[in-house]
């Protein structure tokens, strides 16, 4: 008989079976799949982040194109910087060409609220932002404290979260120049990149900014530069327009030396009343322009009436009453002044319908005209004329109150009274008036 095979496993032979081998292979494959899954999850996360960034950049562009308000542009620019760069705070410096300096316009977030209102930096290598403005090149600095360009005043100006003093540390920073038509108009700065896993700890220290972040800030800064420049140009145009209107109003006032300063005072009183009535900013601007131009029609009144050193007779009053219409005829040629013109045209209407030029009544009279009417009448009463001395402000106030609901809009009179009581109408107005 042949010998029976031994049931013992020979020495050196692995103690495995085909089933065991298969399980190990399956386990290894599963491990690789889990690894791939984890890599894919990371790739998907990064792609989602990129998509979010692109979406946000797109939204930001639309937002910037929808406003010319400088403050809104600046605030949104900083919000976008913090969100896109995931940083603790952001700053926007603008170039002051006359002084060859950068000045700090805005900072964002809880940190930003505590920042100094006014910071100025030289455009040279004594600060990182100044260096970027000088070179026109964006820059990543991941060890700000030890950078020789770091301007200590910048550090002092950044009280950190939970800190009240000048102990905020600028750890990491990217600065990108705002360039328009080859010229640097400012610097956009992202400070302290936040860790992706909050809260920050020794396990999750402050991360560095990378080239990818720099590219993102560069893209953003192109859009911000254009928006800042557009809002600046718009603001300059608006300022020039207001100044031109003021010059026109003053030129007309020159015809009558006794009314000197009347326009400025009517603007001042009108704005005080409107602010008491909580008019929105756009309406305040319209009112201001309407108040500046309210008597522009007097340019068409002959000097013999306008400069008369005595009270006007009935016939002369009739001529004088043409000035709102004349003002309307002159200014209605200017496109874009439609709302301003109504304030000018109807500032002599009365609440009870007894005014001119059209005898409008109550709410038919545009609100800005009702406000100018109170301001104009108050100034006329307290101003000294060739034929009478100006009234005491307290007496003039009582006269205004007395005519609420007949000559004047009661709500405008109430606002006038509040402004008067608060001493907001300047000399002569007082709480016990």
Q: How far is the CB of 163 from Fe ion (least distance, A)?
A: 57
180 beta partners: 183
For Fe ion, the closer of residues 262 and 397 by Cβ is 262
191 versus 375: smaller Cβ distance to Fe ion: 375
Range 216-255, binding Fe ion (CB under 5 A): none
Report in angstroms the alpha-carbon separations of 410 from 50, 85, 193, 294, 376.
58, 53, 56, 21, 16
Candidate ranges 86-94, 132-140, 288-296, 395-403; the one touching Fe ion (CB under 5 A): 288-296
Residue placing its CB nearer to Fe ion in the complex, 256 or 295: 295
Whichever of 355 and 393 has its CB closer to Fe ion, that residue is: 355
Please give the size of the binding site for Fe ion, defined by CB under 5 A: 1
Name which of 134 and 267 has its Cβ closer to Fe ion. Answer: 267
CA 293 to CA 248: how far, in whole Å? 8
Alpha carbons within 13 angstroms on the beta-carbon side of residue 198 total 5
Q: Which of 269, 260, 245, 284 is nearest to 373 (CA)?
A: 269
CB 276 to Fe ion: min, Å: 22
* Residues of span 37-76 touching Fe ion by CB under 5 A: none
Contact 388, 369 (CB under 8 A): no
Scan residues 75-104 and list those touching Fe ion (CB under 5 A). none
Identify which range of 22-30, 291-299, 308-316, 379-387 contacts Fe ion by CB under 5 A: 291-299
**Tokens in use for 55?**
């979406």
Chain residue whose CB lies nearest Fe ion: 295
Q: Which is nearer to Fe ion, 295 or 409 (CB)?
A: 295
Closest approach, Cβ 273 to Fe ion, in A, equals 16
Question: Per CB under 5 A, does 379 bind Fe ion?
Answer: no
Binding to Fe ion (CB under 5 A): which residues in 177-196? none
Residue with tokens 């907001």: 424
Judged on CB neighbours under 10 Å (0-12, 13-18, 19+), 394 is middle
Binding span for Fe ion by CB under 5 A among 19-27, 149-157, 289-297, 364-372: 289-297
Q: Which of 214, 134, 207, 137 is nearest to 174 (CA)?
A: 214
CB of 294 to Fe ion, least distance (A): 6
Beta strands in 201-351 (DSSP E): none
Number of H-type helices and E-type strands within the chain? 15, 6
Which range touches Fe ion (CB under 5 A), out of 4-12, 52-60, 242-250, 294-302?
Answer: 294-302
Please calculate the CA angle 335-339-340 and round it to the nearest 5 degrees: 85
Residue number, 180 or 299, with CB nearest to Fe ion: 299
Q: How far is the CB of 122 from Fe ion (least distance, A)?
A: 51
Token representation of residue 176: 């990108």
Contact flag: residue 295 with Fe ion (CB under 5 A): yes
Task: Report, in Å, the least distance between residue 415 CB and Fe ion.
Answer: 20
Nearer to Fe ion, 54 or 251 (CB): 251
Residue 344 CB, shortest distance to Fe ion, in Å, is 9
Q: What is the rounded distance in angstroms from the CA atom of residue 148 to the CA atom of residue 110?
A: 28
Q: Given the DSSP bridges, would you call strands 87-96 and 183-193 parallel, antiparallel or unpaired?
A: antiparallel
What crossing angle do the helices spanning 262-276 and 367-382 adopt, rounded to 10°? 130
- Residues in contact with Fe ion by CB under 5 A are 295
């Amino acid at each position: 008989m042949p010998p029976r095979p031994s049931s013992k496993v020979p020495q050196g032979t692995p103690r495995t079976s085909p089933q065991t081998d298969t399980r190990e292979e399956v386990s290894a494959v599963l491990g690789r799949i889990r690894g791939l899954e984890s890599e894919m999850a990371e790739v998907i996360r990064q792609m989602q982040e990129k998509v979010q960034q692109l979406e946000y950049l797109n939204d930001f562009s639309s937002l910037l194109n929808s406003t010319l308000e400088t403050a809104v542009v600046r605030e949104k620019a900083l919000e976008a910087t913090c969100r896109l760069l995931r940083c603790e705070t952001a700053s926007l410096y603008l170039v002051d060409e006359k002084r060859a300096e950068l000045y700090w316009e805005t900072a964002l977030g809880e940190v930003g609220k505590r920042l100094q209102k006014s910071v100025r930096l030289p455009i040279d290598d004594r600060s990182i932002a100044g260096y970027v403005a000088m070179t026109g090149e964006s820059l990543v600095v991941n060890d700000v404290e030890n950078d020789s360009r770091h301007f200590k005043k910048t550090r002092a100006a950044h009280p950190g979260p939970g800190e009240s003093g000048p102990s905020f540390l600028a750890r990491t920073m990217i600065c990108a120049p705002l360039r328009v038509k080859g010229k640097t108009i400012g610097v956009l700065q992202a400070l302290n990149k936040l860790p992706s896993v909050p809260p920050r700890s020794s396990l999750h220290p402050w991360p560095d900014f990378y080239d990818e972040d720099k590219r993102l800030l560069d893209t953003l800064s192109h859009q911000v530069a254009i928006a800042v420049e557009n809002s600046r140009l718009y603001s300059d145009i608006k300022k020039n327009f207001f100044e031109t209107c003021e010059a026109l109003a003053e030129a007309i006032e020159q015809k009558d030396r006794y009314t000197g300063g009347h326009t400025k005072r009517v603007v001042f009183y009108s704005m005080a009343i409107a602010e008491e009535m909580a008019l929105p900013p756009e309406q305040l601007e319209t009112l201001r322009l309407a108040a500046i131009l309210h008597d522009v029609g007097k340019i068409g009144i002959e000097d013999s009436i306008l400069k008369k050193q005595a009270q006007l007779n009935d016939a002369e009053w009739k001529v004088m009453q043409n000035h709102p219409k004349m003002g309307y005829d002159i200014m209605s040629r200017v496109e874009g002044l439609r709302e301003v013109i109504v304030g000018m045209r109807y500032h002599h209407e009365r609440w009870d319908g007894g005014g001119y030029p059209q005898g409008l009544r109550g709410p038919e009279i545009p609100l800005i005209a009702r406000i100018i009417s109170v301001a104009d009448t108050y100034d006329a009463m307290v101003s000294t004329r060739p034929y009478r001395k100006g009234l005491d402000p307290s007496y003039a106030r009582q006269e205004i109150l007395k005519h609420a609901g007949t000559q004047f809009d009661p709500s405008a009179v109430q606002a006038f009274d509040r402004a008067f009581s608060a001493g907001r109408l300047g000399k002569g107005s007082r709480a016990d008036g």
